[in-house]
Amino acid sequence: MARKKPAAGGKKTNTENVMGLRSQVLDQPITETLESNYMPYAMSVIVSRAIPEIDGFKPSHRKLLYTMYKMGLLSGARTKSANIVGQTMRLNPHGDAAIYETMVRLSKGYEALLTPFVDSKGSFGKVYSRDMAYAASRYTEAKLSSICAELFRDIGSDTVDFIDNYDGTMLEPTLLPTTFPNILVSANTGIAVGMASQICGFNLAEVCETAIARLSDPEHDLLSTLIAPDFPTGGELIYDRVELETIYRTGRGSFKLRARWRYVKEGNLIEIYEIPYSTTVEAIMDKVSELIKAGKIREIADMRDETDLGGLKLAVDLKRGTDPEKLMQKLFHLTPLQDSFSCNFNILIAGTPRVCGVGEILDEWTSWRLECIRRRTYHDLTEKKEKLHLLLGLKKILLDIDRAIAIIRGTEQESEVVPNLMIGFGIDQTQAEYVAEIKLRNINREHILKRLEETEKLEREIADLEDLLASRRRLRGVIRTELQQVVKKYPSPRRTAIVYADQIAQFAQEDETEDYPVHVFLSREGYIKKITPQSLRMSGEQKYKENDGLLQELELRNRDELLLFTNQQQVYKLRLRELEDGKASLLGTYLPAQLDMAEGENIFAMVCPGDYTGQILLFFENGKCARLELSAYATKTNRRRLTGAYSDKSPLAAVVPLGEEMELALTSTDGRALIFHTALLAPKASRTTQGVAVMSVKPRQRLQRVCPLSESPIRNLARYRVRSLPAAGALLREEDRGEKQLSILEPEG
């Protein structure tokens, strides 16, 4: 960037005049700009906003739940959501709207989580509805769900680290010490900078049982206990073991979900009562309406959203004689009633984003939970040791309590009481402070005996805690016990049913287009006509624009598809059913406009590929030929244009569909011809291949015509036939030229 120059005539620009100082534009390489400005933003989004951590929460979730915990909402009554949102802003400075949206997603009313953490009251919307809005925060109420006790258990026992909030006025936890693998239980979606995360939810009981089994056997078959993902909206999961194994192993993959329905014979209607987690009621109804308008679904008389307090319900009224099973197969195929869920198990582990499989996530959670339990145990051990230390000092005092009383009574200054007790009994300052604070009423035999018994109990507990810290087996046993308690205390029946792919009737899409023979005429300027044989017999001469004429004619069927090769290395696909039946007296459809072709792009030839099982020969003006499989032009999607359809090294000279091996006659502009057998050409894999040289063409000359030998006027076959390629060919004799020139091959379907 150039340094800014002062304005002409000595006048200062606005930027130079600010506060009387001349501004300067500093040169800075873009790499430094990215490093100093963009990278910190990207890392902030990844680490502090979008990607969940090993406890299963993003920072916004954690700040909200911890605020509610500090407000006493784990055991207390509900409070207004607006109150919670306001308190959360002490930890989360991103505004009340964002905080409330976070609460809505975690709520029981919204139904986005299998194990909701917010016990809500009021209208919180629904995850399966795009238009059902949640009420304002001043109208709704909330508290923590009972399962949140597992999120905050022992949070005060130094199980996790605490950091300052954004203004340094209070502390907040970096993680929540969840006693179960919440990272797999709670569905989570996040879009960061350059990466994303998409974690599906699993059943709480199945996750805990799988974690328990993996603690005992690291080689445990995950699919035997963690059957498949589970979603709060229910539905059916189409079980594919290979797909799930891939997801469990790599953390990436997808599986299919579909709606659940029932047929009500009395009203001749279908009731859809559970839909895939990844779609909404409105999206389904919009798609069905679109299909009805397009005439692709004729079996439906009406469709209504009858969702109420009882739950989701879509009612589909059927026309008389409709098979509900076949209709649902069609709807599953054409609408979001069957949808795919893509997984990307990207989580933050020690501040680093990592895509993990299910087994790896469980191992990471176990290691982290072990550290939580170890820290909790060490915290408890420290507290008990401190208490034992005080009681041991008290024990020395209690052996001669009268002497302790005498020391205290004989001390003139209060500040000397503790030092005198330390000297008199050989105890430290902490113990002496504790003894000096004992109430007079506690100096009795009963209190003394209880303290002595407590000392023995503490010694046993300390020994047990020290053994626990030293035993990895016992620490893992604690995790196992806690997981078993979670399964027992929080029963979670599975909501998403499992169906196996081989039990599902596959949808056979029926082509309802009428099929009949047609003649297709293509003109040089790109006009195409589809005429039935009956109309053709009754018609007169074909009509074309001035200076236009026939380029190619094919006899096909109405359901056939055409490949249209252009002069700009592109192929367009055209379904004949999309053309209206025409007449010879009409110009036809102008293809460049219908196919949105580029300016100057012209159609060179048309080919009917049939079922794309044959081959095709592409001849170029430089004498080369490419033999390709027609399957190279087949597409699984409905793409209408294929770029890079053939080599751009030389213009096309001819396009020849090859049903079976045959002999072809080639002529060049310098009057030479050759005959060769197509078996000499080997198929090529790439559409853009230059092919192999067939006819050696001199400079400033080109390959002009190609046709089957049976359609050629050549009589002296032996003169022009070659056994190897490339070949120059021989000059055409007068008798081999024919009365009229050879025409470019008109390929047949």
Q: pLDDT tens across 259-318, in order?
A: 999 999 998 999 999 999 999 999 999 999 999 888 788 899 999 999 988 889 999 999
> Nearest-CA neighbor of 361 among 54, 51, 52, 57?
54
The predicted-structure confidence for 458-467, as pLDDT tens digits, reads as follows 999 999 999 9
Given this model, what pLDDT does residue 509 score?
Answer: 61
Q: How far apart are CA 218 and CA 183, in angstroms?
A: 19
Average pLDDT for residues 715-732, to the nearest whole number? 90
Q: Using the predicted structure, report yes or no on whether residue 513 has a pLDDT greater than 90.
A: no
Least confident of 6-20, 149-163, 584-598: 6-20
Given this model, what pLDDT does residue 637 score?
Answer: 65
The one-letter code for the residue type at 524 is R
Average pLDDT for residues 56-63, to the nearest whole number? 94
Q: Note the Cα 261 to chain centre separation in Å.
A: 26
Alpha-helical regions (H) of 399-444: 401-410, 417-425, 429-436
Torsion angle defined by CA atoms of residues 282, 283, 285 and 291, in that order, rounded to the nearest 10 degrees: 160
Which secondary-structure segment (H or E) carries 477?
helix 472-489
Could you list the beta-strand ranges (E) of 441-516. 497-500
Q: Which residues are catalytic?
A: 139
Given this model, what pLDDT does residue 281 score?
Answer: 95
- Architecture field, domain 365-489: Orthogonal Bundle (1.10)
* 354, burial (CB in 10 Å: exposed 0-12, middle 13-18, buried 19+): middle
Which secondary-structure segment (H or E) carries 284?
helix 281-293
Q: Which residue has the higher pLDDT, 111 or 400?
A: 111
Q: Using the predicted structure, report yes or no on whether residue 656 has a pLDDT greater than 50.
A: yes
Contact 276, 341 (CB under 8 A): yes
**pLDDT-derived band of residue 336, with 50, 70 and 90 as boundaries?**
very high
Residue with tokens 């501004």: 23
Least confident of 139-143, 302-306, 395-399, 725-729: 395-399
Q: Using the predicted structure, report yes or no on whether residue 198 has a pLDDT greater than 90.
A: yes
- Architecture field, domain 260-336: 2-Layer Sandwich (3.30)
Q: Write the DSSP string, 686-705.
A: -TT---EE-B-PPTT--EEE
The answer to pTM > 0.75 is no
Report domain extents, the chain: 1-36, 51-178, 260-336, 365-489, 517-736
* 512, burial (CB in 10 Å: exposed 0-12, middle 13-18, buried 19+): exposed
Q: Which residue has the higher pLDDT, 508 or 359?
A: 359
- Taking residue 713's Cβ as centre, other Cβ atoms within 10 Å add up to 15
**pLDDT-derived band of residue 29, with 50, 70 and 90 as boundaries?**
confident
Least confident of 252-266, 278-292, 439-453, 580-594: 439-453
| CATH classification code of 517-736 | 2.120.10.90
Average pLDDT for residues 567-592, to the nearest whole number? 89
**pLDDT-derived band of residue 24, with 50, 70 and 90 as boundaries?**
low
Average pLDDT for residues 331-339, to the nearest whole number? 93
Mean pLDDT computed over every residue of the chain: 88
Q: Which residue has the higher pLDDT, 11 or 94?
A: 94
Average pLDDT for residues 121-136, to the nearest whole number? 93
Average pLDDT for residues 428-438, to the nearest whole number? 87
Q: Using the predicted structure, report yes or no on whether residue 500 has a pLDDT greater than 70.
A: yes
The yes-or-no answer to whether 51-178 and 365-489 have a common fold is: no
Contact 584, 531 (CB under 8 A): yes
**In this prediction, what percent of the chain has a pLDDT beyond 90?**
61
Q: Which structure tokens are listed for 738?
A: 């024919």
Q: Is the dihedral of CA 71, 74, 79, 80 positive or negative?
A: positive
Q: Which structure tokens are listed for 650?
A: 């030389």
Provide the 3-class DSSP secondary structure of residue 685: coil
Instruction: Name the pairing type of β-strands 517-523 and 550-557.
Output: antiparallel
Q: Using the predicted structure, report yes or no on whether residue 442 has a pLDDT greater than 70.
A: yes
Q: Using the predicted structure, report yes or no on whether residue 15 has a pLDDT greater than 50.
A: no
**In this prediction, what percent of the chain has a pLDDT beyond 70?**
93
Given this model, what pLDDT does residue 739 score?
Answer: 54
Q: Which residue has the higher pLDDT, 20 or 378?
A: 378
Residue with tokens 């008109």: 746
Average pLDDT for residues 617-625, to the nearest whole number? 94
Given this model, what pLDDT does residue 49 score?
Answer: 83
Average pLDDT for residues 578-598, to the nearest whole number? 89
Average pLDDT for residues 411-425, to the nearest whole number? 87
Q: Which structure tokens are listed for 741?
A: 């020139």
Most confident of 172-186, 385-399, 527-541, 631-645: 172-186
Given this model, what pLDDT does residue 194 score?
Answer: 84
Given this model, what pLDDT does residue 507 score?
Answer: 67
Radius of gyration of the chain (CA): 41
* 593, burial (CB in 10 Å: exposed 0-12, middle 13-18, buried 19+): exposed
Given this model, what pLDDT does residue 57 score?
Answer: 95
Q: Using the predicted structure, report yes or no on whether residue 559 has a pLDDT greater than 50.
A: yes
Average pLDDT for residues 343-357, to the nearest whole number? 93
**pLDDT-derived band of residue 511, with 50, 70 and 90 as boundaries?**
low
Given this model, what pLDDT does residue 402 score?
Answer: 82
Instruction: Name the pairing type of β-strands 236-239 and 497-500.
Output: parallel
Average pLDDT for residues 585-595, to the nearest whole number? 90
**pLDDT-derived band of residue 35, with 50, 70 and 90 as boundaries?**
confident
Considering the four listed CATH numbers 3.40.50.150, 3.40.50.300, 3.40.50.720, 3.90.199.10, the one that applies to the domain covering 51-178 is: 3.90.199.10
